[in-house]
Amino acid sequence: MTARDRVALLHRALEPYDRVLVPVSGGYDSRLLASVAVARGMDVESWTTSPDDGLDTDIDFARYITRELGIPHRIVPQDPARYPEEALWVARRLEYLTSHHAWYAPFAREVHRAGRPVVDGLAGGPLMKNFLISSDAVAAGTGAARREALLASLATGAPHIPVLGDTAREWIDDQVRTAFLQATSMLHGHRAELPLSVLHTRTVRGIARSPLGLAGPEVTPVFPFLHPEFFEAALSVPVSRKEGGRFYREILRAANPPGGRAAVHQRAAAPEPAGAAAVERARGPGVEPPDAGPGGRDPRAPLPPDAGGGRGRAGRAHRIRVVELAVLAARPGALRRLAHRLRGSARRSHPALARGRRRAGRGPARRDRARTGLTGPRAPA
First to last CA, the chain: 33
Domain boundary among 278, 302, 326: 302
Instruction: pLDDT band for 341, please (50, 70, 90 cuts).
Output: low
Query: Whole-angstrom Cα distance, residue 331 to residue 212?
Result: 8
Say whether both 140 and 242 belong to one domain.
Answer: no
Note whether 152 and 56 are within 8 A (CB). Answer: no
Which of 7, 76, 58 has the alpha carbon at shortest distance from 252? 7
Quick one: pLDDT at residue 36?
94
Phi/psi for 51 (5° steps) reads -80, 10
Whether 168 is in a domain gets the answer: yes
Q: How far is CA 349 from CA 232, 329, 331, 343, 345, in A?
A: 11, 23, 25, 10, 6
* pLDDT, position 51: 74
Query: How many distinct structural domains can be found in the chain?
Result: 2
Residue 291 in any domain: the answer is yes
Judge if 120 and 243 occupy the same domain. Answer: yes
Sequence-distant (≥ 6) Cβ neighbours of residue 170 within 8 angstroms: none
Cβ atoms of 7 and 38 within 8 Å: the answer is no
Q: What is the pLDDT of residues 342-364, one digit of tens each?
A: 455 545 544 544 444 444 444 44
Q: Say which residue, 33 or 156, is predicted with more confidence.
A: 33
**Average pLDDT, integer, range 54-74:** 87
Looking at per-residue confidence, does 232 or 156 come out higher? 232
pLDDT in tens, 185-211: 999 999 899 999 999 999 988 888 888
Query: Has residue 25 got a pLDDT over 50?
Result: yes
Instruction: Supply the DSSP string of 144-205, one letter for each residue.
Output: HHHHHHHHHHHS--S-SS--S-HHHHHHHHHHHHHHHHHHTGGGTT-TTHHHHHHIIIIIII
User: Residues 18, 97: one domain?
Assistant: yes
Whether the pLDDT of residue 339 is over 80: the answer is no
Asked if residue 318 lies in contact with residue 196, where contact means CB atoms within 8 angstroms, the answer is yes
Domain boundary among 302, 333, 358: 302
Q: Are residues 54 and 120 in the same domain?
A: yes
DSSP 1: -
Q: 170: exposed, middle or buried (C-beta count within 10 Å: 0-12, 13-18, 19+)?
A: exposed
Cβ(10)–Cβ(35) below 8 Å = no
CB 157 within 8 A of CB 173: no
- DSSP, collapsed to helix, strand or coil, labels residue 20 as strand
135 vs 157, which has greater pLDDT?
Answer: 135
Please tell me the predicted confidence (pLDDT) of residue 7.
94
Confidence of residue 178 (pLDDT cuts 50, 70, 90): very high
CATH (domain of 250) = 3.40.50.620
Same domain (yes/no): 140, 122: no
Residues 43 and 112 reside in one and the same domain: yes
Q: Check whether residue 150 and residue 90 sit in a common domain.
A: no
Closest listed residue to residue 31, CA positions, set 252, 231, 234: 252
For residues 260 and 347, membership in a common domain is answered with no
Segment 82-90 mean pLDDT? 89
Residue 270: other Cβ atoms inside 10 A: 5
- Residue range 48-70: average pLDDT? 84
Q: Residue 212 domain-assigned?
A: no
**Count, residues in the chain:** 381
Please state the rounded mean pLDDT for residues 153-181. Answer: 86
Is 209 within a domain? no
What percent of the chain shows pLDDT beyond 70? Answer: 65
pLDDT tens digits, one per residue of 313-327: 433 343 334 444 443
Looking at the structure, do residues 285 and 325 belong to the same domain, yes or no? no
Q: Which of 302, 326, 354 is the last residue of a domain?
A: 302
Number of helices (H), then strands (E), in the chain? 20, 5
Question: 3-class DSSP state for residue 74?
Answer: strand
Query: What is the rounded average pLDDT of the residues 60-85?
Result: 90
Q: Is 112 exposed, middle or buried (0-12, 13-18, 19+ CB in 10 A)?
A: middle
Say yes or no: 313 and 298 in one domain. no
Residues 155 and 106 in one domain: no
Stretch 294-302: mean pLDDT: 36
Q: Domain of 38?
A: 3-127+218-302
* Preceding omega of 159 cis (within 30 degrees of 0): no
Query: Is residue 228 domain-shared with residue 199, that is, in the same domain?
Result: no
